[in-house]
Structure 1
């Protein structure tokens, strides 16, 4: 196939080429994964970045995202306001202790109040004073320029705001905010020199073209980190009965995202355990980053299994450039 070599030599791939490649049944998924591995190895060797989430505020959300157990349409048991500063600091200690390079502070809701920004900023300042090497990623929803400046000053390294799906399919997923609301937040972070993290959720009924469009949109946004989530259906949500993914389809999607965004951090995120199942290790041939521990309101596998998986592959934890 020699696709990876041509990309490393500067070949530009079009959406049409990638759609044909993705949908061509004669192109073996493992062959595609091998091409992705050449790119992953070129940029990241055999290193794997570890990330951990703190669900700092749960539920109490006015948005109607069709995949989310915290949306306004769900009667959620797990509801609480922004956690105390001590709890945020405790999470950072856990991340440090387990060799986790990126600590993600996540809040539900449309976006943070100024008071919540101050609370997060103060916590981040304390974390950075004690663990300057720990990368802090904030995921707080839609923000403005003033809030971004405060986060940057406090020491936030990265801001996650997923596009989730393609611009074309966005209204099928959520109607309480627009696709542009999301991309505007990412641009605000970039303007304030905060590293942009933006990804997707696959398996929500999107088309093959939508998947290609998502990967190219993130290339255009120039997201430094791209989390790929696979729908973990939650009963009662719009997509609660959806079942469109197989382990091989997930691998094909991850390979495609690496091929389109060859030098970027590609992270396997929510839903990997239930969708990739026994093929989880193969995903690291294309991805170079994973979440360890639990997600926002769905459980992950025990940390020790992730560490063992990395070791069994002959890969190693990336401690540098945090």
Structure 2
């Protein structure tokens, strides 16, 4: 049976559900079929993705909150980032926030019903002083608050990964961002391989690996499938799917918006490729998905609440209402 005929008769999606629930990997052709599906296949596709999502996560939604712990002052040239050395975007610039401010952020995460608090700092990698500050804050948060901690501090040395794990960091985020082939067109000051190496160090230290992608940076559909396969092979536990929010003053400021239907297909793709993993609809969802944001949770089981790094997110109350209106529930983290 050809892929085209399978799509026409709605038989491909059930077959992908069967494969996902039985540990069978998708082929490149099946991945491309998801991304290239006709518009009238969008709802059947999401229904199929929801069957897989429901099998592993029911109707629960994990909430995460980011604190921009260090803004700007970054020597890297990532073309999507307002904090990079090549960006002229008018953003706040400051060194690493003090411990009291990081603790206040953790309390805010609890108020927003987030189970995971993400401490993010721009830069190539943490200095020893910065690592000391993060470690001190993490230890106190772990002692006083029912939160999981995710750190995102750039490229890590092996001993730094071990220190973060010993302090109680549950998860470390280091996104692959795009395909290996597309990477040099996005960043030249570090390599795709260095990002993979950091994720491997995170795993070796005993932290849960979080690694994802930014859609809309000139990649082809084939490259989107390739990065989904790469994250599957890397065994990332949590996969944030970002959609480029083209910020004026960055090299990618003129990149087009990812249409809502395409964004939903991407989320479905990652659910089928990494069926048991946390798929998080992340930065840029408000820009790409717009009024179709609720549909994203039929494939994804996690999202960020509040603002991102230098861009604003949807109102937290709107996210809570969206989850309630879907008949879903916020997952409370058990430590």
TM-score range, shorter chain: over 0.9
> 1-side partners of 2:22 and 2:222: how far apart?
26
Which of 160, 169, 189 matches 2:182? 169
Query: Which residue does 2:8 correspond to in 1?
Result: none
Whether the 8 Å contact between 2:176 and 2:192 is mirrored in structure 1 is yes
Matched, 1:203 2:216: yes
Matched, 1:30 2:43: yes
- The alignment partner of 2:289 has SS state of helix
Question: Could you give the per-residue CA deviations for residues 170-211 of structure 1, whole angstroms, max 9, x where no partner exists?
Answer: 001101100011010000000001000000000111101110
Query: Which residue does 2:170 correspond to in 1?
Result: 157
Which of 283, 290, 299 matches 2:303? 290
TM-score, reference length from structure 1: 0.97
Shift in Å at residue 22 of structure 1? 2.5
Question: Could you give the per-residue CA deviations for residues 3-49 of structure 1, whole angstroms, max 9, x where no partner exists?
Answer: 21232134332223322442243871222111110000000000000
Query: Which residue does 2:289 correspond to in 1?
Result: 276
- The alignment partner of 1:168 has SS state of coil
Query: Which residue does 2:77 correspond to in 1?
Result: 64
> 1-side partners of 2:220 and 2:23: how far apart?
28
Q: Identify if the C-alpha distance between structure 1 residues 311 and 21 changes in structure 2 by more than 3 Å, giving closer, same or farther.
A: closer
Q: Identify if the C-alpha distance between structure 1 residues 21 and 97 changes in structure 2 by more than 3 Å, giving closer, same or farther.
A: closer
> 2-side partners of 1:20 and 1:101: how far apart?
35
> 2-side partners of 1:232 and 1:300: how far apart?
11
Query: Which residue does 1:320 correspond to in 2?
Result: 333
> 2-side partners of 1:280 and 1:315: how far apart?
14
Matched, 1:252 2:265: yes
Whether the 8 Å contact between 2:242 and 2:282 is mirrored in structure 1 is yes
Matched, 1:129 2:116: no
Q: Please, which runs of 5 or more residues in structure 2 have no aligned partner?
A: 1-10
Whether the 8 Å contact between 1:21 and 1:27 is mirrored in structure 2 is no
> 2-side partners of 1:321 and 1:262: how far apart?
22
> 2-side partners of 1:292 and 1:231: how far apart?
17
Query: Which residue does 1:103 correspond to in 2?
Result: 117
Matched, 1:112 2:151: no
Question: Could you give the per-residue CA deviations for residues 36-80 of structure 1, whole angstroms, max 9, x where no partner exists?
Answer: 100000000000000000000000011110111111012343100
> 1-side partners of 2:219 and 2:288: how far apart?
16
Shift in Å at residue 245 of structure 1? 1.2
Aligned Cα RMSD in Å?
1.3
Whether the 8 Å contact between 2:242 and 2:284 is mirrored in structure 1 is yes
Matched, 1:94 2:108: yes
> 1-side partners of 2:91 and 2:111: how far apart?
30
Matches within 5 A, 1:2-17: 2=14, 3-17=16-30
The number of residue pairs the alignment matches comes to: 321
